[in-house]
Amino acid sequence: MRRSKAVSALALLTSAALVLSACGGGGSSDGDQGGQQDADPGSIGGQDELFKRPKVDDIGEVAVAVEEGFHNYNNNIGATNNFSNAIALSNVQPSPYIAELVDGKIVIKVDNDLMESIKVTSTSPQTIEWKVQKAAVWSDGEAVDCDDFYLKWLAATSKATEGEAAIFDSTPTGFEDIEKLECSDDGKTITTTFKKPYADYRGLFSQPSSDSLLPAHILEQKTGTADITKITPTQNDETVKKIAEFYTKGWLGFDPTVALSAGPYMIESSDLKDQTVLVRNPKWWGNPAGPARVILKTNTDSQSAAQQLQNKEVQVIAPQADNAVASQFRGNGEFDIYAAGGQTYEHVDFNMALPLFKDNRELRLAIAQCFDRDALIEKLVADVNPNAKPLGSLTFMPNEVGYEDHYGDIGKGDIAAAKKTLEDGGWKQGADGIYTKGEFRASFKLGHKIVTRRADTVRILQDKCKQAGIEIVADQAADFNDKRLPASEFEAALFAWVGQPLKAGAFGNYAQKAKGGTANYNNYDSAALTEKWSAANAELDYQKRITLMNEADKIMRDDLHSIPLFQLSDFAVSSAEIGPISYVGVAGGVTWNLYAWQKK
């Protein structure tokens, strides 16, 4: 499972379409084609390219094997943010902007089924006008309107706290730069006026920044709130606390009375573990989707998922990229493989609240030095993506313009260098071969979800580090990513961020918790990083922004709170009888274009 949140010359279309980092074409693909992030955040009157779902045939039921089950309807808060939720919700919850794969590149477009238009009406101050389609309604018939936008803005910007914690548990990135959000046209027009520029406004309220809209009228009904737009971000009373209580808890799990849809599909049922069923939304006003019913089956074992596909128990599988599975299906005409460098990246985070890591930078460096990332690539990745290399950035992927390798001097399995670093820092090797320093012992638990490749990763990392006098203890759990990770219940964590072509949203992964780091699970606390990333988010000059983002990455490299391992290949295999199957991580992975699936 992966947590959800994470350029060359300018290539803007006449419609100002935003071309972003890419994955590759449909069918059998092994390409790494980088696009670019937005270089021009919008001129007055400009509008991004519009997208409408196509007319397709009814193909009945389709079963898909995914690596983790759906858990929570509200995926917009730090406690629940999980890629497994996005797999189910990408075709359920409305998103003004969507990500589409076009000629192997991720392109951010306006969802024209939901929105009439999204336009920049002023650059001083930056002002965006969002117009919702008159026909857009939730699955209970209530309109999708300004209230839904306002609720997201309120949750992100509310100053109400419980102790030191923001009671809405939502990242303020971008939303905090909106000075006012105004409703007009019977709620179908939303105007956002910014107090300072925000380059990635296209991610607000939308999937490209791992967000989407929730039905505000349901919250109003459940909390007795007459009008959510009358609740202000500065309000801190019992009324707003009741609203936050429902926002953070009322949409947990799956309750069909509150988990509504304003997309082509709705959730019919879910056991929140092994199976979630999607069916067409009868209130959907756009073209009906291809599959009438979609069964999402959880299977954490890639080999078992491959067997399900071969046995025709499922028609599509989307396991984590696996050398053996890729080799098994490649060249077999009965199946199509999609494999391409995407936005998802594997890494190890140290819990910086623990004295072992907080007080011993030399230990963090020694661990980084003994990690053998080349062995990881060779044994776990190369058969899926022969061009894969160790990842050198927490900000850009290797197939994006702007990428710089800041970690090339570590991760080489250098036993001698790791031992020297420890000994120079006053560590002594004990009789058991493990280094100690005062109360500290160079031993830690590396937590991860139960996934075969993750267990293999730990074994590979253990090898060289043990020789360097550092003990890594495997700590796997089925609920690691869903429960323990967001609660910071780990010593070190091995997981993947589903990165974003719009970089601003990753601010919440690394910023100080008090400054918007709602997904900062490893308690990294750097004022310099927070300030640098904030400056990048407000920079409208794209080349200057690339420089600032790389400076932010260098700060993290110096602090070594996290060690990037490798860029994961977006990976899916399907029966050759169904398609087009591809993968857009930020838009729900393999399910991003469910609406278009057809029998060949």
Hey, where are the domains in the chain? 342-568
What tokens appear for 521 in the block?
């699970």
Residues 582, 23 contacting (CB under 8 angstroms) = yes
Residues 403, 397 contacting (CB under 8 angstroms) = yes
Distances (CA, A) of 342 to 35, 338, 396, 496, 582: 11, 11, 11, 12, 11
Report the C-alpha gap between 251 and 249 in whole angstroms: 6
Residues 501, 37 contacting (CB under 8 angstroms) = yes
183 three-state secondary structure: strand
Distances (CA, A) of 545 to 19, 41, 195: 16, 12, 19
Residues 573, 582 contacting (CB under 8 angstroms) = no
Query: φ, ψ for residue 585 (rounded to 5)?
Result: -55, -45
Report the C-alpha gap between 273 and 588 in whole angstroms: 17
DSSP, residue by residue, 316-361: EEEPSP-HHHHHHHTT-TTEEEEEEEEEEEEEEEE-TTSHHHHT-H
Report the C-alpha gap between 390 and 66 in whole angstroms: 26
**pLDDT at residue number 45:** 60
- Type of residue found at 526: S
Q: Which among 23, 43, 71 is positioned nearest to 276, based on CA atoms?
A: 71
Q: How many Å from the N-terminal Cα to the C-terminal Cα in the chain?
A: 30
129 three-state secondary structure: strand
Q: Find tokens 């956002």 and name the residue.
A: 192
Residues 379, 456 contacting (CB under 8 angstroms) = yes
Q: β-strand 440-441 against 443-449: which pairing, if any?
A: unpaired
Radius of gyration of the chain (CA): 23
Residues 78, 310 contacting (CB under 8 angstroms) = no
Residues 29, 573 contacting (CB under 8 angstroms) = no
202, 205, 206, 207 alpha-carbon torsion, rounded to 10°: 130
Q: Which residues pair with 96 in a beta bridge?
A: none
Report the C-alpha gap between 344 and 589 in whole angstroms: 10
- Render each residue's pLDDT in the chain as its tens digit; 600 residues: 444 443 222 222 222 222 222 222 223 333 332 333 344 445 566 668 899 999 999 999 999 999 999 999 999 998 888 889 999 999 999 999 998 888 777 788 999 999 999 999 998 999 999 999 999 999 999 999 999 999 999 999 999 988 777 899 998 889 999 999 999 999 999 999 999 989 889 889 998 777 899 999 999 999 999 999 999 999 999 999 999 999 999 999 999 999 999 999 999 999 999 999 999 999 999 999 999 999 999 998 999 999 999 999 999 999 877 778 888 898 899 999 998 877 889 999 999 999 999 999 999 999 999 999 999 999 998 888 888 899 999 999 887 778 999 999 999 999 999 999 999 999 999 999 999 999 999 999 999 999 888 999 999 999 999 999 999 999 999 999 889 999 999 999 999 987 777 787 788 899 999 888 888 999 999 999 999 999 998 887 888 989 999 999 999 999 999 999 999 888 899 999 999 999 988 789 999 999 999 998
Element spanning 460, H or E: helix 452-467
**pLDDT at residue number 386:** 82
Residue-averaged pLDDT of the chain: 89
Residue-wise pLDDT for 401-433, tens only, equals 789 999 999 999 999 999 999 999 999 999 999
Angle value at C-alpha 554, between 23 and 194, nearest 5 degrees: 75
Report the C-alpha gap between 426 and 576 in whole angstroms: 60
Q: Which residues contact 346 (CB under 8 A, 6 or more apart)?
A: 391, 457, 494, 495, 496, 564, 565, 566, 568
**pLDDT at residue number 25:** 26
Report the C-alpha gap between 291 and 598 in whole angstroms: 8
What is the CATH topology of the domain spanning 342-568? Dipeptide-binding Protein; domain 3 (3.10.105)
Q: b/e string for 293-315 if b means 16 or more Cβ within 10 A?
A: ebbbbbbbbbeebbbbbbeeebb
Residues 289, 62 contacting (CB under 8 angstroms) = no
Query: Secondary structure of 74-111 in the HEC alphabet?
Result: CCCCCCCCCHHHHHHHCCCCCCCEEEEEECCEEEEEEE
Report the C-alpha gap between 554 and 506 in whole angstroms: 15
What tokens appear for 5 in the block?
């949140």
